[in-house]
Amino acid sequence: MCPPTFFDVREPKNPYMGLPIDRAKAQQQWEDLRRTLEDAGLKVEVIDAVEGLDDMVFAANQVFVGHHDRLGDFIVPSRMRYASRHKEVPFFIDWFWQRGYKIINLDLDGECLEGHGDLLWHPDHSRIWAAYGFRSTRGGVEKFAAAMQELGFPVIPVQLVDDHCYHLDTCLCPLNDEAALIYPGAFSPESLQTVRGAWKRIHELTSAEARQFMGNGIVANGRFITPRMTRNLEHILAQENLMPVVVDTSEFEKSGGSVFCMKALIE
Ligand code: ARG
């Protein structure tokens, strides 16, 4: 995680961005999320925030993190769509490099790839879901897919079509090997078919739920950490034996992100 010391909303990069943030409240919400993750049994490691990098708090985006039997731990650095976020990436590369991660650099010239915003491991790590449309580009996803293919990880590309779901982590939330939470309206018809065909159980969020980041949850040790709750989501989580834990992320939602965006799972 990256603390929100310099978090701000300046340049609008998605439809949620516009209102000013309350930095003290943001700090409090970030601490609450950190404690919630620790209560769920996760160890939290922190990267220093850097002045001027307003979105660095969204630690899901700067690199894709993986583990390969032969190669060991690795990252694939992102090429962010907005120039204002380019500078975040080297700080994350450095952090991982110091901890022994291999760096897989793609030649992303002219393409974009936004880490775990658009790239999600299937829970059993057998394949990777990769979205393009708003932030990552199709070409970026193709280059990523070629590199992962070499490591033996198949990549499933999907196209996003709703600008309120500009990252895959806002509309596809794997719950376990068999079940996923999705907002169907976020996908092109063909991609929606692909998603539906790959899971035994698909649970659907409404557009209003997706826009309130209920598809941006974190699954951790039997818990589902979410910024809010509805009867529908409650019902879904009960079916999948997940215990809901609600954490307020109002200040980060003003930047278009919630709990999932605010961390990278490194193991
Ligand atoms: N303001 C950030 C941006 O638009 C939000 C990133 C949210 N991250 C995510 N993984 N969905 O770039």
User: Which residue lies with its CA nearest to atom 7 of ligand 1?
Assistant: 257
Tell me the CA–centroid distance for residue 223 and ligand 1, in Å: 23
Per the structure block, which two tokens stand in for 8?
């701000």
Confidence of residue 156 (pLDDT cuts 50, 70, 90): very high
The amino acid at residue 226 is T
Judge whether residue 267 has pLDDT over 90. Answer: no
User: Which residue lies with its CA nearest to atom 12 of ligand 1?
Assistant: 13
Judge whether residue 37 has pLDDT over 90. Answer: yes
Judge whether residue 250 has pLDDT over 90. Answer: yes
Mutate to test the pocket of ligand 1, among 84, 134, 162, 167 (most ligand atoms within 8 A of CB): 167
Mutate to test the pocket of ligand 1, among 61, 64, 88 (most ligand atoms within 8 A of CB): 61
pLDDT in tens, 184-232: 999 999 999 999 999 999 999 999 999 999 999 999 999 999 999 999 9
Tell me the CA–centroid distance for residue 57 and ligand 1, in Å: 9
Check: CB of residue 96 under 8 Å from CB of residue 103: yes
Ligand 1: residues with CB < 6 A are 13-14, 55, 58, 60-61, 85, 117, 167, 169-170, 255-257, 261
Tell me the CA–centroid distance for residue 69 and ligand 1, in Å: 31
Q: Where are the beta strands (DSSP E) in the chain?
A: 63-68, 72-77, 102-103, 119-121, 128-132, 155-159, 172-174, 179-182, 201-204, 218-220, 223-226, 243-246
Judge whether residue 39 has pLDDT over 90. Answer: yes
Tell me the CA–centroid distance for residue 70 and ligand 1, in Å: 32
Report the C-alpha gap between 128 and 138 in whole angstroms.
15
User: Which residue lies with its CA nearest to atom 3 of ligand 1?
Assistant: 13
The whole-number pLDDT of residue 9 equals 97
Mean pLDDT of the chain: 98
Tell me the CA–centroid distance for residue 255 and ligand 1, in Å: 7
Q: What is the mean pLDDT of residues 167-172?
A: 98
Specify the ligand 1 atom closest to the Cα of 54.
1
Judge whether residue 233 has pLDDT over 90. Answer: yes
pLDDT in tens, 55-74: 999 999 999 999 999 999 99
